[in-house]
Structure 1
Amino acid sequence: MSSTSERIAAAAKDLVTAGGSASVSMRKIGDALGLSPMAVYRHFPNREALLARVADDLFDDAYDRLSRKAIPADTVAALHGAVDDLVDLALDHPRQFAFMFIEPRDGARTFPADFSGGRSRLFGLLTGIVDAGIANGTLAPTDSWKVGLTLTANVYGLVALHQGGRIALSDEDFRELCHDSLERLLNGILA
């Protein structure tokens, strides 16, 4: 049996996934679990603390799932796989994706200190691919954290535009656009 704190966090995670962070309130959590809002506050001092726990849990879940995947030895294929992983999350759970990567949030990890300091294990999976690509000569020697930021910012921007209705493509065509954009980044646009 899970603890009350774990049950509260799980209920909040469900609300974030279904309706975004705006749908999370102590009252809704209490109602879902048969608790008073004050009982919820005994476990989490405020909504922000609860959302911080939810964010940590979502990032841990994503890391646990993605760290078990086999990463292709081919750097370009591995980067395309990382794009697919992000696009899968964005298309399958758009509100969760926005909460994790786009919405402002107290305590969110920030570039560069939190990332290069190892506080983002999920981002570390991507920089591991970049580091391997640098080591095997596929990618030019450079700062892997900045390369990772460029690659993810590109996908996050496309997702934000897609979620905002500014990119009117089917899911399949949107995925293709994300891969095309990765290729443009890898190959450059200068003549």
Structure 2
Amino acid sequence: MARPDTAMRILNAARALFEREGAGSVSMRRVAEAVGITATAIYRHFPNREALLEKISDDSFDEIARHWNAHRQARDPIARLLATQQIYLDYALAYPHLFDHAFLARRRNARRFPEDFIAAQSPTANVMHEAVLEAQASGQLRAGDAWGLTMTVWAHAHGLIALQRAGRFSFDEAGFRAFFTTSLHHLLDGLRA
């Protein structure tokens, strides 16, 4: 009989492999060896490798959303918007393989803009969108399509991180962080009311 925590042990072992070596390293055999079970036993908890990888990605989205939600109480919406992007950067630098799989790889169940975002199905984008709406209401950001502005900020941050992940900057981590922050400020200055 399987122990009640087997699914979590499988997930933790798969995530550890994923974080160390990327999605390609996550095989049922390697996960089973790490957990001390047979590879076929994994299928009692996850129907296939893709479901296991999807669960890892979904959990990583939830982690980011929890961090972003913690900044919802900040009074200044611009500071809150910047904080969300710093958390995004922190995540990308701390968990590069998870970031790549969650945000750079094509995934069947990935949320799509505009319909999924407008339907509030993205817990991470929802926090950014709220900050943009509040910044518009307070006169800090220009009026107009709030989702368009939200996606502009996110795409800017995402593009910088993707370029960094591709080795297109020669900065060390501290230098890239400084460049990233300055670049976001430039973007937001251009979006001010």
Q: How does the TM-score come out when normalised to structure 1?
A: 0.89
Q: Is the 8 A contact 2:64 2:88 kept in 1?
A: no
Give the superposition deviation at 1:161. Answer: 1.1
Question: Offset of 1:116 from its aligned partner?
Answer: 1.6
Partner of 1:36: 38
Superimposed CA distance per residue, residues 124-172 of structure 1 (whole angstroms, 9 cap, x where no aligned partner): 1111111111111111222222222111111111111111111110112
Pick closer, same or farther for the CA change 1:151–1:2 going to 2, 3 Å. Answer: farther
Q: Is the 8 A contact 1:52 1:106 kept in 2?
A: no
- For 1:112, give the aligned amino acid: P
Asked if structure 2 preserves the Cα contact closer than 8 Å seen for 1:63 and 1:121, the reply is yes
What CA distance in whole angstroms lies between the structure 2 residues aligned with 1:154 and 1:31?
41
Question: Counterpart of 1:167?
Answer: 169
SS in 1 for 2:58: helix
How far does residue 77 in structure 1 lie from its aligned partner after superposition?
2.0
Unaligned runs of 5+ in 2: none
Post-superposition shift, 1:31? 0.9
- Once residues 13 and 7 of structure 2 are traced to their aligned partners in structure 1, the CA distance between those partners, rounded to angstroms, is 10
**In the TM superposition, what are the counterparts of 1:131-150 in structure 2 within 5 Å?**
131-150=133-152
Alignment of 1:21-170 (within 5 A): 21-69=23-71, 71-170=73-172
Structure 2 vs 1, CA of residues 2 and 111 (structure 1 numbering), >3 Å: closer, same or farther? farther
The one-letter code sitting in structure 1 at the alignment partner of 2:121 is: R
How far 1:2 sits from its partner (Å)?
Answer: 5.0
Aligned length: 189
Report the CA distance between 1:18 and its aligned residue: 2.1
Q: Give the structure 1 partner of residue 20 of structure 2.
A: 18
Q: CA deviation at 1:69?
A: 3.5
Long gaps (5+) in structure 1: none
Inter-partner Cα distance in structure 2 for 1:4 and 1:154: 40
Change in Cα spacing, 1:76 to 1:64, as seen in structure 2 (3 Å) is: closer
Distance 2:51 2:148 in 1: 30
- Of 185, 188, 191, 2:187 maps to 185
Q: Distance in 2 between matches of 1:167 and 1:71?
A: 34
Backbone CA RMSD of aligned residues: 1.9
Q: Residue 71 of structure 1: CA displacement?
A: 4.4
Q: Secondary structure at the match of 2:43?
A: helix
Give the residue type in structure 2 aligned to 1:66.
W
Relative to the length of structure 2, the TM-score reads 0.88
Cα distance in 1, alignment partners of residues 158 and 64 from structure 2:
16
How far apart, CA to CA, are the structure 1 residues paired with 2:79 and 2:66? Answer: 21
Contact 2:18/2:98 (<8 A) preserved:
yes
- Percent identity of equivalent pairs: 36
